[in-house]
Structure 1
């Protein structure tokens, strides 16, 4: 019969650990530790402490920065989990010198880091520039929309919240009546207690909504329309993403083209990115100017951004500030001859009876200026006008006799019960003699071979950064509330990305990191 060495878990072993030897050269933690100890000016943290003569000694900001950034690099954002790792994980013990900060200390440090994190981020940028990792030749702007610690069910306008209040008041009245009837009937104690808790919960929610309405007015967007507020985090926004509708923030970054260093980053509680290009580019200018690296870093550089940032105002801004920008519009791919055969690779469209007919479903002949609807009826030309952007448009309308008895009314009209006819506007191109707008010049510029090449570089510059942060570093959602804290968390993750670049390229660029 085979014999095996005996073993027992009921024993202890003392293991000597040298913290210095745990931090191996060339690793992320070694790069992080050296940066904080030798390169980052930690004097910016002095102002937050008032214990020169009285009070207990505070945890060193260097220790807190190391454990927080290393935790973020491993996808850990919970302050309780970070505190646990400082007690149980040898690498965290080594980085914190076994000081084991409490989770409340870590949470408070992150929550109040909004001022100092900008200075730390810029110090790391200086190191990146000294090592030659910032080329300043091409910058790509992009963003990622992530959910935050807020409930989208508690989003709405003032009118929506007033309806919620009325609904909850009716529910409370109904429960109170049932509670009284149950008392009179002598119902069992557990049922009465459960109803009482329901009433207390609804009343607390009522007070919460009422208090919110007293403190906040409706938010108004740039177009003058009322935006939805959020009860749990009013700085956040409801956003449409490829994964559905979320309540969260848009983390935007400006990335340098040489080694994908994030040179400027901000989080915004905005559903659309139209208004974010200008503050991001101005922030990039300010960062390089205040670091003494360049008076106008965008002068002579290429700036590329996707269609989410394309507006007439943004294109005009690039034109007025003499920035060599490449902003794609929503039809950029359709005009690209390389994508002419793209449609044949897509699955055959399914005939959706709920989908309304679009203008492209109407057969339009630009020579004879005639239009045939999906039902085969000819529409009459109602007029022609020139748009402010210089494009000509022709308006077609259906005849009442045709539209009234048409079997396709439900697919052609949004409100077939009250709309009589269908109207379609089709475009003929630019009006002769009209001056070319900034947007038209941008389209002509980006449609050239050089323009397509410059814009295609954006994909290789910006997208891997967000893949690294969201996939490798596991930022799936923002775990905090409020714009100030979310912006701090986004900067911390961008800082982790830049430190990873220093770990990889620092030595090869002429200086050990």
Structure 2
């Protein structure tokens, strides 16, 4: 039987000069990346090279950047796998114009130009603004935990790091004695490392320990004295007490990535990683991307809001209308901060917002815990709070001899304001105010700071924020938070697969996170252009 087949000769040469553009369809992602990179200002990349043209030839930064962006768009970050794709993948060959830089060249390019790569975020945001994709009316702020390129088990205490330095020195001495004998050692090549890289990481870890906030009483008092000497002013507020200072385990630093931290993660307990702070519009365009090494989101609300305003001003996107954030960012200071826009922050976790439990019922649950009828975790599930809250409140309201305090709710401003005003005028003592209001001395200090105009009372700020969230406009705006920021993290982590940083150190990780967010925006821009 004769079969009509298409014949082809593998040894047949091209009859005409080939064009790499003919190898892909015209709407391929590779051509979109090529066109975007051509529109970017790459002055910072070219400025890193000699202006006189001397020295060995280098790969064109425009081509290298195109390869890097396309790789991140397709979920590929390994320099070795990118090198392989430059040979086997047609799209990579089109972007690289049939050039094949090796993995070392790719890695050096990414490290050498990390600041310029991070700065591309603003340019990409500007392209989104020009395309009409950025709506400044509402910006949602949130953070996500991302693993560091380091092991949790590489954390060491100061004593362990010091022992490692001594052991490393002894190991190097023994190696040099064996290598040189009685010689000076100058005969060795200059690139003999002798474990230098590991010692540098250990030194960096020691420096991180020095920079961490002290937890012991003596060190905290020394830090307090140093700040007062530097500013020339006394620090307000209660001084640390020897018996009240928290005494957790010894401080540790990671020898692989000293800038990373042990971060609490609700799905995995703890992880070695970073907290990536992000702001996005209701159309899921990332408008700010920063990286921190702390679990708590509260200190980062004002900085990320300021970063959004700066990025908008640079990109010409106007001013933000409203910032929205979840309860992880709630503080009275954040709620009343001057950020150039309206602020909506949830004041309590979602479980509390779903079912508000009367104070008398809370006290009844705590009484059952005190009698041993409920465990801390069972009570926490009933009340919608953590077991540590249940433990602390049980200790507060109950003791061996019965109830310690009859009050279960904080006094309202109308009740405590006259009492605290008397305290501010010196008419009553602080102890008398505590007894009259049935609150702790720390709570009285906070109330006193509010009366003096030094700080906003958190309870007053909470009531005002709850009123805003309960209004029709506030409720409608806050409901947009989840649909604005959560899809960004879903695309980055699930679709692109970026759950772990590949670089180490805060500057490198910050540059990588901005590149990831830039790629997310570029993919949104391409989708919008395709559907227009």
**Shared fold per TM-score greater than 0.5:** yes
Distance apart, 1:160 and its partner CA? 6.1
Contact 2:73-2:496 within 8 A present in 1 as well: yes
The separation in 1 between residues aligned to 2:512 and 2:12, in whole angstroms, is 40
Aligned residues: 411
- Name 2:37's counterpart in structure 1: 36
2:487 counterpart of 1:464: yes
Structure 1 322/102 Cα, relative in aligned 2: closer, same or farther at 3 Å? Answer: closer
- Name 2:121's counterpart in structure 1: 121
Q: What 5-or-longer segments of structure 2 have no aligned partner?
A: 175-194, 221-245, 374-392, 418-458
- Name 2:332's counterpart in structure 1: 312
Structure 1 469/399 Cα, relative in aligned 2: closer, same or farther at 3 Å? Answer: closer
- Name 1:243's counterpart in structure 2: 268
Secondary structure of 1:134's aligned partner: coil
2:442 counterpart of 1:450: no
Distance apart, 1:236 and its partner CA? 0.9
- Name 1:69's counterpart in structure 2: 69
The separation in 2 between residues aligned to 1:496 and 1:279, in whole angstroms, is 23
Structure 1 313/6 Cα, relative in aligned 2: closer, same or farther at 3 Å? Answer: same
Q: What 5-or-longer segments of structure 1 have no aligned partner?
A: 177-202, 341-358, 377-391, 403-421
Structure 1 268/24 Cα, relative in aligned 2: closer, same or farther at 3 Å? Answer: farther
Contact 1:157-1:218 within 8 A present in 2 as well: no
Structure 1 118/208 Cα, relative in aligned 2: closer, same or farther at 3 Å? Answer: closer
The separation in 2 between residues aligned to 1:235 and 1:466, in whole angstroms, is 23
The separation in 1 between residues aligned to 2:204 and 2:70, in whole angstroms, is 38
2:315 counterpart of 1:291: yes
Distance apart, 1:58 and its partner CA? 1.6
- Name 1:324's counterpart in structure 2: 342
2:411 counterpart of 1:430: yes
Structure 1 440/227 Cα, relative in aligned 2: closer, same or farther at 3 Å? Answer: farther
Structure 1 53/161 Cα, relative in aligned 2: closer, same or farther at 3 Å? Answer: closer
2:140 counterpart of 1:148: no
Structure 1 495/17 Cα, relative in aligned 2: closer, same or farther at 3 Å? Answer: farther
2:315 counterpart of 1:255: no
Question: What does residue range 156-235 of structure 1 map to in structure 2 within 5 Å?
Answer: 156-158=156-158, 161=161, 211=203, 215-221=207-213, 228-235=252-259
- Name 2:19's counterpart in structure 1: 18
Contact 2:46-2:61 within 8 A present in 1 as well: no
The separation in 1 between residues aligned to 2:406 and 2:519, in whole angstroms, is 50
The separation in 2 between residues aligned to 1:331 and 1:425, in whole angstroms, is 26
Secondary structure of 2:55's aligned partner: coil
Contact 1:362-1:372 within 8 A present in 2 as well: no
- Name 2:238's counterpart in structure 1: none
Of Structure 1 and Structure 2, the greater helix share is in: 2
Worse-matched range after superposition: 152-161 or 235-244? 152-161
Structure 1 17/374 Cα, relative in aligned 2: closer, same or farther at 3 Å? Answer: farther
- Name 1:183's counterpart in structure 2: none
Match 2:499 to one of 476, 481, 489: 476
Structure 1 398/76 Cα, relative in aligned 2: closer, same or farther at 3 Å? Answer: same
Structure 1 156/117 Cα, relative in aligned 2: closer, same or farther at 3 Å? Answer: same
Of Structure 1 and Structure 2, the greater strand share is in: 1
The separation in 1 between residues aligned to 2:12 and 2:371, in whole angstroms, is 82
2:289 counterpart of 1:265: yes
The separation in 2 between residues aligned to 1:394 and 1:361, in whole angstroms, is 14
CA RMSD between the two structures: 4.0
- Name 1:374's counterpart in structure 2: 371
Contact 1:230-1:236 within 8 A present in 2 as well: yes
- Name 1:406's counterpart in structure 2: none
Structure 1 128/442 Cα, relative in aligned 2: closer, same or farther at 3 Å? Answer: same
Structure 1 30/477 Cα, relative in aligned 2: closer, same or farther at 3 Å? Answer: same
Contact 1:446-1:452 within 8 A present in 2 as well: yes
- Name 2:306's counterpart in structure 1: 282
Given the two structures, how large is their TM-score scaled by the length of structure 1? 0.69
Distance apart, 1:120 and its partner CA? 2.1
Question: What does residue range 388-399 of structure 1 map to in structure 2 within 5 Å?
Answer: 395-399=396-400
Distance apart, 1:372 and its partner CA? 8.3
The separation in 2 between residues aligned to 1:62 and 1:504, in whole angstroms, is 23
